[in-house]
């Protein structure tokens, strides 16, 4: 069996009902602008797994961590999952794994959300970035955009 970690996405929130239907709110929440530090924020991370065969592994471990620009792990969590039989055994299997974190951000820069999946003999990893900007950074970006607009004929 070939298990793939197809994609990882940041969002404002993610909710999964008892049938496994996932609702994601505020997609692509990968920029945070703040005037002060520390700042608290909530982010959801959603992992999409897919297999090319209809029978997935029966157990999986999904490890999440968020690493600051200064290489400090600011939050980590592991989700252990027991996977049942696929609802539709004649088609390839897929699953979405959501996790939510409340983060205390203490510095600007790129914070990396890491995802590592362990399922049977498979070890897969992906990451997605959260860019933390200061209000001063945003002012510089907007000033640069205005300068570019002034240069257009």
3-state secondary structure the chain: CCEEEEEEEEEEEEEECCCCCEEEEEECCCEEEECCCCEEEEEEEEEEEEECCCCCCCEEEEEEEEECCCCCEEEEEEEEEECCCCCCCCCCCEEEEEEEEEEEECCCEEEEEEEEEEECCEEEEEEEEEEEEEHHHHHHHHHHHHHHHHHCC
Instruction: Show pLDDT as tens, one digit a residue, over the chain (153 residues).
Output: 578 899 999 999 999 888 878 999 999 899 999 999 999 999 999 999 888 776 556 788 999 999 999 999 999 999 998 776 777 778 888 888 899 999 999 999 999 999 999 988 889 999 999 999 998 988 888 888 887 777 766
Global pTM reads 0.85
User: Domain total for the chain?
Assistant: 1
Residue 54 sits in which domain range?
Answer: 3-151
CATH number at residue 147: 2.60.40.10
């Amino acid at each position: 069996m070939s298990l793939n970690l197809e994609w990882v996405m940041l969002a404002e929130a993610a909710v999964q009902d008892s049938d496994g239907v996932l609702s994601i709110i505020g997609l692509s929440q990968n920029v945070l602008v703040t005037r002060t530090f520390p700042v608290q924020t909530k982010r959801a991370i959603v992992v999409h797994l897919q297999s090319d065969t209809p029978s997935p592994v029966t157990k999986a471990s999904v490890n999440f961590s968020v690493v600051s620009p200064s290489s400090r792990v600011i939050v980590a969590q592991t989700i252990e999952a027991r996977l049942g039989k696929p609802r539709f055994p004649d088609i390839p299997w897929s699953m979405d794994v959501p996790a939510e974190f409340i983060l205390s951000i203490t510095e600007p820069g790129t914070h990396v959300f890491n995802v590592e999946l362990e399922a049977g003999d498979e070890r897969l990893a992906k990451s997605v970035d959260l860019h933390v900007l200061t209000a001063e950074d945003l002012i510089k970006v907007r000033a640069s955009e205005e300068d570019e607009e002034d240069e257009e004929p």
